[in-house]
Structure 1
Amino acid sequence: MSSLVEKVREDWQEFKREEPVAIWTTYVTVVVLVWLLAPTALYLALTGVLYLAWRRWMIGARCRSVASLEGKTAVVTGANAGIGREVALELSRRGARVIIASRDVSKSRLAAAGIRSETGGEVIVKQLDLASLASVRQFAAEIESTEQKVHILVNNAGMLMTERRKTEDGHEMMFQVNFLGPLLLTHLLTKRLEESAPSRIVNVSSMGHWFTDFDLSDLDGERRPFEVWRRYGTSKLCQILWTRELARRLRQRSVSVFSLHPGVVNTEISREQRDRWWYSATLHGILFSYVFRSAKMGAQTAVYCAVEPGLEHESGGYFADCAPGWSSAQAKDDKLAARLCEEAERMLDIKLVSA
């Protein structure tokens, strides 16, 4: 063995004497490669760490409450898919009797069957089309006649339109589905919620409320060009303002009201965007698989607002990631909130509950 080592050493010394250029070329190559690749490796490692941090932040917080909902009844709108289905699933898992309220009854039945198979709970399906105020009234009448109690109302259903459309009631479609319809539904179910106190109303809004063309004298946006994100933002701002005013009016009746931002979530609310020239199914899949959050994680803050013990003192608040969220200055304007509710009363020809 020692002779073999000695032979290798002698061979190496001879090689160095005979091939100095090769030796120095190798040294230089190694140094250059280290100089080039070390920063690249560092960049790649840093990119990986930053992506994981970004991904963890985008996924959001999880509702840690283990509160039971045994004996409670919850109504969840738009619960046949996406965030609404995940909220309904979690409430059912905690023992609640869940009523899925959505426009597509066949799809809702499939969702209900899936939830029952996972939780073994009671899940009921009823039709509700927020684009029709008559449908809202019919649904509320059914609840009044069949349900003795309603402990939780989650106004989750919403839409994102790419062009101006009007409902059969004459209102801009997105504004009615995201705001007027839920407001009317809540108004019609307020009596049941009061009788079931302590109860909660949860309004799924959006950080999109920061981007708005809000004009109290033109809530349907008829006097300006249709800009999808500003119209969407206006409807979501109205949800937050209405939440504040409704919480003020119901504070002495043990009915708590919350609004929230669920995060940027892969749901069917963006289905209207699929017909746009710039839409890419591949890019959409990549973004929502590796960058943004799932419907399950998007439902966490709504579940938190529905079940977290001791949250009553935060009634009227805006939440994100299972904690108080950062809303715009407009969204905190109580005088504007009161004036909005007065205008909504006029548009719907109703009288909202007084403080």
Structure 2
Amino acid sequence: MFKFFQKNTLPPRKSPMGTYHMEVISLPEECDWEKYLPLEIRFIFKQSPEYKEKIRAILSQGKAIGVRTVLRTPENILRAVHIISVHSQRNYIVTWLPTLLRDKHLPKFMEADYLRAREHSEDLDAAVKTIVRDRLRFKRLVLIDEENKGIESHEQRLMTELSEIIYPFAVDYSVFRVIADNARERTKIAQSIIKALLIVGPVAHILEKYARGFGKVFAASADDLLGESAEIMALRGSGFTWRELARRGLILIPVFALATWGAFSVEGFLEAGKILLGGAIFGLSAVALSLTTAIQSIFMYRKNIGKLAEEEKVNYSDPRMRMRMAVKQDFTNPARFGLLLGAVCAPFAGMAGALLGILHNGWALAAIGSTESIVAGITVIFADYINEWRFHKKLKRMIK
């Protein structure tokens, strides 16, 4: 059942060259049906209305205009982004990639960055060239000769002019596409763990029916440990080293002990009539580790942007701006965002279950204790569709 659900919700596997989609207009009458035209053509009509008749004329001569949109970033670009991020930008993407794609503003490299990259047989300058060279390939207008009459020079000039008009549109899309696909590539393992939690979490919590009290402890711990594994792999995929993760991992030992005590205490709180407290503690005990890591990761990014500022690679002196960028970078990652969202929801789900008097029901515990798993899994699975919807909503505002 899970494979069926995954198959019908995930986008198709991408090829190393990337995948693309083509929208074509070929009839002159289509120019009057703006509601049904591709967004890019509608943008042209809004920005330069005089081109409407020029496009109509070229369509009446047996030509068609296609809008080719890359749906998955090619592997070579994702690899180039990863090289620059890990070896020179302290795992950041949002501080340099948008300006590189929009304005060809090159990220600052230091000699230590070049040395670090060479130690891993990587070339920072070559990575930049790859991104700059291919940055406008994500959205292109193409002229199609449907009647094989040949394409004339004035038609080529027209297509060049149209491409210049949609330049802001195309660049915005390239920024969105690369950042979204980079986040997905960084967290493949974490996303697999989260998707597994959709099945493992509920099964673990059903054990409560057979070992009340101990079932809560086992169930909460199993869910939390797998959630923590997903958090760690998400951070590892973002470029943090095992040494960095191990240093901040020391605090997780007392947190896990506290979570275990909390799970043991739930039954006592419920029997004492402290319903809301018992429900909240049960929810928190199932997310304690991953919630701690979620908070820590923001401060890890906060520390790194401070180092980037010291190296004069970014110009963020305001502590609030640094924190804002740390949060922004952290949550470009759908696995990270889903886990935090699920962790925040878990205590409230526990309190709701307590008020409804269902915390002794194994199936209810399965749902409540796995709130983090379920919310995170759904977020990961639908992240592509949510991001696409948000971006296209932004584009539609540009043509209103």
Q: TM-score range by the shorter chain?
A: under 0.3
Please report the TM-score for the alignment, with normalisation by the length of structure 2.
0.23
Which of the two has greater strand per residue?
A: 1
Larger radius of gyration between Structure 1 and Structure 2: 1
Please report the TM-score for the alignment, with normalisation by the length of structure 1.
0.25
